[in-house]
Structure 1
Amino acid sequence: MIETIKEIILDFQQSKLKTGIPRRTAIRPVLGKATVCIGVRRCGKSTYMLQLMQKLLDSGIRSENILCLNFFDDRLHALRHDSLGVILEAYFSIYPEKKNKEKIYFFFDEIQVIPGWEPFVDRLLRTEECEVHITGSSAQMLSKEIATQMRGRALSWEMFPFSFKEFLDFKGIDSDETLSTKKRLMVQKAFEEYRETGGFPEVAGLERMLRIKTHQEYWSAMLFRDLIERHGIAHPKALTDLAHWLVDNTASLYSVNSLTGYLKSLGHKAPKSAVSDYLTWFEDAYILFTVRIFDASLARSNTNPKKIYCIDHALVTSVSSGILVNSGHLLENLVFTALRRISPDIFYYKTKTGKELDFIAKLRDGSRMLIQVCESMADPQTKKREVTALAEAMAELKLSTGTIVTRGESEKISLGGGTIEVVPAWRFMLSFTENFQPTSRCHGVL
């Protein structure tokens, strides 16, 4: 095993890194803690690790001081039964002069497939002069056992599929400068492509049928590897049927009771407790997200109907039946994922007269943002409905601004107590910077 690991280490150190499109996620290592990058599978975590390694090399760190292992490598299968200590033994047998003399940078990809990896990483951080970076399937990196075994020696950061800005980077369009008329037209055209293809890096630029097939393979892997296998689900058909119902009803309200009844109508004997578990696991794996009503009472927030959104709007179109999902729901989902990249604290809101607002998001600076999503406000009745609902919410929450995101319209509406900005979705997407904070929803410090 030692010889195999030595071969893998040397092969990697001599290879050219395929770093892809630079991500706008600024993950910062913290002294004495492992940096854990979590997110949905295929969102680009492994490639981001390669980008971090390239930055180290560009800063003058020698390749010999970087050890990278991908635990999905078939040659490392035997490690599941051996001590992970052989990794250190193999590395320092190649570079004995570095032991306790130089800083070593460890990159472990998909390490969660190795039982007992947490104590090994914990020991590394305690005994070696090192920096440790870890990625893995999110559902397997978020367990409470990790928090216990790592004893606070890890910090989690979230990664998502391409944001619209990152998609523009892929297209070679600079969105950080003032947009000329020509550049704006390029950005708008790229946004229509982004609406069609979504943010998963591998599908960017693929023709439609290949994109759909790739999305469907992702979906199957997410359900079976990150959920069914991970949690040992005895009746996987109930979970997959629930997942398909939820994605078919993207941006719609649901309750645990209604979902339990739906599964019962299909002949499944899944109790409410199981359905609640499934919903939690979907979110842990960054596949589907639940949005609760904004309410000071946690009990009321939990008992009210909730809304469901998917990690990627184009994934919805590739795996849903297409019967219930419309372009308005997809636009709403797209806005949700843009908000989710910058904040985990997202709710929907109901005014005292029963009017519903799509999103209220708490931002990093503590401020609140009210957002309504409407494909088009060309119809006067639609415009009146959306503006009235947003104005009521602004008054009740004592907010001076609100936003209506549309497919392509823009306008500024002055009210007695504030202003409503009507903005096209592409411009709304460009208004955000990426979230540089470690995640708090996923146990924060592990």
Structure 2
Amino acid sequence: MINTIKEIIFDLQEIKLETGVPRLLRIRPVTNKATVCIGVRRSGKSTFMFQIMQRLIERGVSRHNILYLNFFDDRLHNLQRGPLDAISEAYYSLYPEKKNSEKIYCFFDEIQILPGWESFVDRLIRTENCDIYITGSSAQMLSKEIATQMRGRALSWELFPFSFREFLNAKNVDHTLPFSSKKRLLIQKTFEEYWQTGGFPEVIGLDRFLRIKIHQEYFSTLLFRDLIERHDVSHPKAVTDLAHRLIDNIASLYSVNKLTGYLKSLGHKAPKSAVSEYLEWFEDAYFLFTVRIFDASLAKANVNPKKIYCIDHAMVTSTGSGILVNSGHLLENLVFVALRRISRNIFYYKTNSGREVDFIVQQQDNSRMLIQVCESMSNPKTYKREVKALKEAMYEQNLTTGTIVTFDQEEQIVIHSGKIEVMPAWRFLLNLPETM
């Protein structure tokens, strides 16, 4: 086994790293903590690890100081029977002079398939001079479990599918300020492609048929590997039917009671507790996200209906029936994912008079953003409704600015308490920071 590991170490040191499109997530390693990259399947976590390796090499780190192992490699199958110390033994038998004298950068891809990986990584952190980077599929390395498995010796970073900014980079479209007329038109045209394609790296540039087929494959893999197999679900059809129901109602309100009743109408015997569990599993796999109403009382927030969003708006069109989801819902979903990159504290808001604002976002500096999403403001009734709801929310939250995101309209509305910016989605996405 040790000789096999040596061969694999040598293999990586000789090949050209396939780094793909540079991601805009900037992780910051912390001494004595493993850096863990988590996110939905096929979002580009392994490629991101190669990008980190390339940056280390460009900083002058020798490739001999980089240890990379992908545990889906068939040659490492016997490691599942242990002992994992064979990894460090193989490396230091190649480079004995580096032990305790030079920093080693360890990259472990899909390490979760190895029994006892947590204690192995923990031991490396405590006993060796090394930085450790870990990726893992959502199936066995979910966000909630990292904290318990690594006992505080890990710091997690979320990687989402491509943002619009990253999509522009993938298409080699300049989006730096200032925007000339030509640059703006090119950005708008690329946004139309992003609208159709979504952010999963693998589907960029593919025709519609292949894109839909790949999205549907992702959908099935998420359900069966990350949820049904992993949790040994006794009623897998109930999970599948629930996922389809939520996809068909994206950006809409739901309650556990109604979802339970829906499954019951299909003949499933899933109790409310099981439905609540399924919803938690969807979120932990970075597949579907729940948004609660904004309320200081958690109890009140939990009894109110919640809204559901998907990791990728284009996946919704590829996997949903298309009966209930319209382009306004998809636009709201796109805005949600962009906001989710910069904050976990996202809620929908109801004014004292009962008017709804799509998002209120708590930022790291404790400031708040109010955002309304409206496909078109052309209809005077729609215009009045959207502005009035946002105006009331701004007054109640003592905010002087609010935003309405549309497909292509742009305007500044001056009100008594401040101003409302109406802006097209492409501009809104570029105005947001990439991460917080």
Asked if Structure 1 and Structure 2 have the same fold, meaning a TM-score greater than 0.5 normalized by the shorter chain, the answer is yes
- Which of 148-157 and 404-413 deviates more? 148-157
Unaligned runs of 5+ in 1: 437-446
Write out aligned runs for 1:414-425 (5 A).
Answer: 414-425=414-425
State the one-letter code of the partner of 1:42.
R
Contact 2:143 2:284 in 1 (8 A): no
User: How many Å apart are 1:143 and its aligned residue?
Assistant: 6.3
1:435 is the counterpart of 2:435 = yes
Larger displacement relative to structure 2 (329-338 or 169-178):
169-178
Cα distance between partner residues in 2 of 1:197 and 1:145 = 32
Counterpart residue number, 1:61? 61
Cα distance, 1:197–1:146 mapped onto 2, change above 3 Å: closer
Partner of 1:386: 386
Contact 2:139 2:225 in 1 (8 A): no
With a CA cutoff of 8 Å and minimum separation of 6, indicate the structure with the bigger relative contact order: 1
Letter in 2 for 1:385: R
Structure 1, residues 321-365: CA drift from partner, whole Å, max 9, x if none?
111111000000000001001101000011111111110011122
CA distance in 2, matches of 1:335, 1:262: 28
Distance 2:135 2:263 in 1: 34
Give 2:42's aligned residue: 42
Q: Please give the root-mean-square deviation of Cα atoms over the aligned residues, in Å.
A: 1.1
2:351 aligns with 351
- 2:127 matched residue in structure 1: 127
| Match in the other structure for 1:284 | 284
292 and 99 in structure 1: CA distance in 2 versus 1, 3 angstrom threshold? same
1:113 aligns with 2:113: yes
- Paired residue for 1:442? none
User: Per-residue deviation at 1:144?
Assistant: 5.4
2:89 paired with 1:89: yes
Q: Aligned pair 1:273/2:273, yes or no?
A: yes
**Corresponding residue of 1:396:** 396
Residue 243 (structure 1) aligned with residue 243 (structure 2): yes
User: Relative to 1, partners in 2 of residues 1:393 and 1:139: Cα closer, same or farther, differing over 3 Å?
Assistant: farther
| Equivalent-residue separation in structure 2 for 1:312 and 1:129 (angstroms) | 39
- Distance in 2 between the 1:139 and 1:311 partners? 16
Change (3 A) 1:160 1:349: same
Using the TM superposition, give the Cα deviation of residue 300 of structure 1 relative to its aligned residue in structure 2, in angstroms. Answer: 0.5
2:149 and 2:388 mapped to 1: Cα distance?
A: 52
Q: One-letter code of the match for 2:435?
A: N
- Render the CA deviation track for 1:390-416: whole Å, top value 9, x for unaligned: 111111111111110000000111111
Name the aligned partner's letter for residue 126 of structure 1: R
- In the aligned structure 2, how far is the partner of 1:306 from the partner of 1:198? 24
Do the aligned partners of 2:163 and 2:199 also contact (CA within 8 Å) in 1? yes
Q: Distance in 2 between matches of 1:15 and 1:55?
A: 16
The residue identity in structure 2 corresponding to 1:262 is: Y
1:138 counterpart SS class: coil
- Cα distance 1:86–1:116, how it changes in 2: closer, same or farther (>3 A)? same
Matches within 5 A, 1:359-378: 359-378=359-378
- Which ranges in structure 2 are unaligned for 5 or more consecutive residues? none
Instruction: Specify whether residues 412 and 263 from structure 1 end up closer, same or farther in structure 2 by C-alpha distance, changes over 3 A only.
Output: same
In 2, are the aligned partners of 1:293 and 1:347 still within 8 Å (CA)?
A: yes
What's the counterpart of residue 322 of structure 1? 322
The whole-number CA distance in structure 1 between the counterparts of 2:175 and 2:316 is: 27
Q: 1:160 matched to which residue of 2? A: 160
Aligned 8 A contact 2:38 2:143 in 1 = no
* TM-score where L is the length of structure 2: 0.98
Q: Please name the residue that 2:141 is paired with.
A: 141
Paired AA for residue 104 in structure 1:
I
The one-letter code matched in structure 1 to 2:25 is T
Q: Deviation per CA, 1:236-282: give whole Å up to 9, x if none.
A: 11101100100110000000000111111111111111111110110
> How far apart are 1:176 and its partner, in Å?
2.4
Q: Which amino acid aligns with 1:188?
A: Q
C-alpha separation between the residues in 1 aligned to 2:273 and 2:434? 35
Distance in 2 between the 1:39 and 1:410 partners?
A: 33
CA contact (8 A) 1:106 1:130 kept: yes
Determine if contact 1:139/1:284 at 8 Å carries over to the other structure.
no
1:20 and 2:37 are equivalent in the alignment? no
Structure 2 equivalent of residue 440 of structure 1: none
Structure 2 counterpart SS, 1:140 = coil
- In the alignment, the residues of structure 2 paired with residue 144 and residue 175 of structure 1 have an alpha-carbon distance, to the nearest angstrom, of 36
* Native 8 Å contact 1:84 1:117 kept in 2: yes
The number of residue pairs the alignment matches comes to 436
